[in-house]
Amino acid sequence: MTAKTAGTLQTKATGPLAGVRILDLTSVVFGAYATQMLGDQGAEVFKLEDPGSGRGDGGDIMRWAGHVPEGAPRDLGPIFMSINRNKRSVLVDLKDPQARVKLEALIATCDVFAASVRYEGLKRLGLGYEDVVKIKPDIVYVHAAGYGSDGPYAGEPAYDDLIQSASGLADLLPRIDGDPAPRILPTLVADKVSGLFMCQAITAGLLHRERTGEGQFIEVPMLECVTSFNLVEHLYDHTWEPPIGQWGYQRVMNPNRKPYKTKDGYIGLLPYTDKQWDQFFAAAGMGETFGKDPRFSDYATRARHIQELYGLVETVTETRTTQEWLDLLKPLSIPVVRTNRMDDLPQDPHLQAVGFFQTYEHPHAGPYNAMKPPVKFSKSPSNIRRHPPRLGENTDEVWAELGVKLAGDEKV
């Protein structure tokens, strides 16, 4: 992939969280995705990594996942690179009493303690909420959990595959195509959705502290987050007690809801209002036929026949090329877009215009592509200030900044 925008590291945090300090004991995707978003928005993120990790490699396991270019260090895997910029890696053995002094000095300077280690493990390390609050009374302590602490699954391990299975996400495709086997969606949706919940929870916790002076314990449980995300639309007729019908929003649970084939590709297309449907079929030369069909006379009736309607759409879209449909429908303000394959994304004219893909030069791994922070702040823009760090890259400088000196230290 060739990105068109050359990225330059900024020297100063300009985002709305500039000045906020986050101690980051998260790893993999869920927590790391959340803390990168906060780092992009200006927070100073200290990524604490273990020297052994139980495997001999050390650090966040995502460092070692995937391929790296020939000659690049193995600890900068591609997914790690995508969710760990704007962080400093501090290597610390949490079981080492000597390291504890330094760790407590770092905690005392932080506004947020974010962790995805199982909570019982944190307590055994002396890093439960009650322990940390003694060091920093107003800490915003956020625990990324698999399951809420009040339920019978509390403390069990959780990964994206498990949460998709437990949250109903794996039941979506069977309800569309008739194959009864549950299937996991081919994206880390549970991890990433939970990361969004976690990011929002941290900023809300900081706002509460700003207003009241109080820190607090915040739990972000994956199962509850992802189930609520899934059921926004799919609780549907089970919203009512007793239920009056099906699970699943009928327009979405529709095998004909998909990119529609054209003569030379595919388009995403969604006429929505009565006027847009009339205009679409008129443009397709089927206005009279569509207008006389009682199945599609109004919104409520269309909703009951949505599968037939979407099936009819595809018979129409195959009659023109993608560009012909874009030229025809965009002036009518009918929602339509060219369907991109992933290979097409770097050449998408909109993504190019906004500089979405940016190429940076990592001092150890060489050129790499990054996606710019997508949310746009008019007064306090997010920015990229640090490359994803090597394992333990910033350990000495962080301890030196704290001014903590222990017996045997030479650099502090």
4 is written with which tokens? Answer: 């068109």
pLDDT (tens, 9 = 90+) of the chain, 412 residues, equals 554 688 999 999 999 999 999 999 999 999 999 999 999 999 999 999 999 754 557 899 999 999 999 999 999 999 999 999 999 999 999 989 889 999 999 999 999 999 999 999 999 999 999 999 999 999 999 999 999 999 999 999 999 999 999 999 999 999 999 899 999 999 999 999 999 999 999 999 999 999 999 999 999 999 999 999 999 999 999 999 999 999 999 999 999 999 999 999 999 999 989 899 989 989 888 888 787 888 988 888 888 888 999 999 989 999 999 999 999 999 999 999 999 999 999 999 999 999 999 999 999 999 999 999 999 999 999 999 999 999 999 999 999 999 976 545 554 3
Task: Output the pLDDT for position 30.
Answer: 97
Helix (H) or strand (E) holding 158: none
Last residue of a domain, one of 338, 366, 387: 338
**Is residue 348 one of the residues assigned to a domain?**
no
CB 1 within 8 A of CB 346: yes
* 97 Cβ neighbours under 8 A, 6+ residues apart: none
Quote the tokens at residue 329: 């429908």
Shared domain for 127 and 53, answered yes or no, is yes
My answer on whether 267 and 127 are in the same domain is no
397: domain CATH number is 3.40.50.10540
For residues 227 and 375, state if they share a domain. Answer: yes
Q: Does residue 141 sit in the same domain as residue 85? A: yes
Instruction: Flag whether 409 is in a domain.
Output: no
Residue 406 has a pLDDT of 53
Same domain, 107 and 169: yes
Mark whether 167 and 209 lie in a shared domain: yes
Please give the Cα distance from 406 to 248 (Å, whole number): 60
Residue 316 lies in a domain: yes
Domain boundary among 338, 363, 388: 338
Residue 149, helix vs strand vs coil: coil
| Vertex 44: Cα angle to 2 and 127 (nearest 5) | 120
Q: How far apart are CA 229 and CA 293, in angstroms?
A: 36
The answer to whether residues 209 and 309 belong to one domain is no
Number of domains in the chain: 2
Regarding whether 104 and 10 lie in a shared domain, the answer is yes
How far is 13 from 21, CA to CA, in rounded Å? 12
Task: Say which residue the tokens 């944190």 belong to.
Answer: 122
| Domain membership flag for residue 245 | no
Domain boundary among 338, 362, 394: 338
CB-based contacts of 278, cutoff 8 Å, min separation 6: 287, 290, 291
**Quick check: is 407 in a domain?**
no
pLDDT tens per residue, range 132-153 = 999 999 999 999 999 999 999 9
- Give the pLDDT confidence score for residue 269 in this predicted structure: 96
Q: Do the domain assignments include residue 75?
A: yes
CATH number at residue 299: 3.30.1540.10
User: What is the DSSP secondary structure assignment for residue 372, as one 8-state letter?
Assistant: P
Among candidate residues 301, 311, 306, 305, the one with its CA nearest the CA of residue 251: 306
In terms of domains, do 321 and 358 share one? no
In angstroms, how far is CA 407 from the centroid of its own chain?
A: 42
**What's the pLDDT score for residue 409?**
59
What confidence score (pLDDT) does residue 411 get? 45
Same domain, yes or no: 187 and 285: no
Domain membership of residue 255 (yes or no) is: no
The one-letter code for the residue type at 382 is S
Residue with tokens 């350990």: 395
Radius of gyration of the chain (CA): 25
Question: What is the rounded CA–CA span in Å between residue 316 and residue 287?
Answer: 12
368 and 323 housed in the same domain: no
Q: Tokens standing for 320?
A: 């023109």
Distance CA 34, CA 197 (A): 8
Q: Are residues 175 and 74 in the same domain?
A: yes
User: What is the token pair recorded at 104?
Assistant: 């407590």
Largest CA distance in the chain: 87
Is the bond leading into 97 cis (omega within 30 degrees of zero)?
no
- In a domain? residue 153: yes
- Quickly tell me which residue has 């809420």 as its tokens: 148
Containing structural domain, residue 51: 5-231+354-402
